Amino acid sequence: MKSPLSLCPVPEEQRPVNEYRLLAESWFFRWGTFSGWDYFKPMVILWLVSCFVSAPVSAASLKPTQHPIEFTYFAAFGACIIPALAVVRLYLGWNYVYQRLVDVRVFYEESGWYDGQIWEKNPEMLDQDRLIANYEVRPVLRKIQNTLIGIAITCTLLLGGGILWNRFQLWTWL
């Protein structure tokens, strides 16, 4: 009797379980599997590097000597953009693999000439893929979603704080 994998017409590199393995081993997407400080360290590094870009932009808009608080708020807000984009890319990659794992049908290209085919997974393969999706990929997606929520809240507070501080300063001058 042939194994279910030997009956699968999907090329090896396009099988969802192999896409998951490749994603989990890649240097960028592996970041989502880390925990604790190892997970947050790349974000902090990206944020610090982004400060070198956002601080001059903020300084061009506000004079740091005259408006140091607003300058700090807006520079910190601007520095959040690149880490946020990196986390969004991380989420999109993991979500793509999650959808491929839980889907009953697998879309694939046999020759690379955009001649798409659809293959329906057999029950054993579907069970295996869904186990991986639910116990390996879903926790990573939840962590990334929580990170995106945290970044959104931080950006909102920084932008709101800068705007409110600016308004407060204007009120005292009137």
Q: What percent of the chain has pLDDT over 70?
A: 89
Which residues on adjacent β-strands are paired with residue 118?
Answer: 107
CA-nearest of 102, 101, 128, 107 to 119 is 107
Q: Which of 74, 80, 82 is nearest to 56 (CA)?
A: 74
Structural domain includes residue 164: yes
Which pLDDT band holds residue 71 (cuts at 50, 70, 90)?
Answer: confident
Highest-confidence range of 43-52, 109-118, 155-164, by mean pLDDT?
43-52
Give residue 11's pLDDT: 84
Asked if residue 62 belongs to a domain, the reply is: yes
Q: What span, in angstroms and rounded, lies between the C-alpha atoms of 128 and 20?
A: 12
Output the pTM of the full model. Answer: 0.84
For 14-38, write each residue's pLDDT tens digit: 899 999 999 999 999 999 999 999 9
**Selected residue with higher pLDDT from 173 and 109:** 109
Count structural domains, the chain. Answer: 1
> Residue 74 in contact with residue 162, Cβ under 8 Å?
yes
Q: Which residue has the higher pLDDT, 115 or 66?
A: 66
Closest CA to 43 of 79, 77, 75, 72: 79
Has residue 4 got a pLDDT over 80? no
Q: Sorting pLDDT into bands at 50, 70 and 90, what band is 131?
A: very high
Q: Note the pLDDT tens digit of each residue in 77-96.
A: 899 999 999 999 999 999 99
Give exposure, 47-86, as e/b (b: 16+ Cβ within 10 Å): beebbeebbeebeeebeeeebeebbbbbbbbbbbbbbbeb
- pLDDT of 113 strictly over 70: no
**CA atoms of 106 and 164, how far apart (whole Å):** 51
- pLDDT, residue 171, reads 45
Residue 127 lies in a domain: yes
Residue 117: give the domain boundaries. Answer: 12-169
The answer on pLDDT for 9 being more than 50 is yes
Q: How many C-beta atoms lie closer than 10 Å to residue 158's C-beta?
A: 19
Q: Please check whether residue 143 lies inside any domain of the structure.
A: yes
In a domain, 3, yes or no: no
Residue 56 included in any domain: yes
Mean pLDDT of 103-127: 85
Please indicate, yes or no, if residue 149 is contained in any of the structural domains: yes
In a domain, 136, yes or no: yes
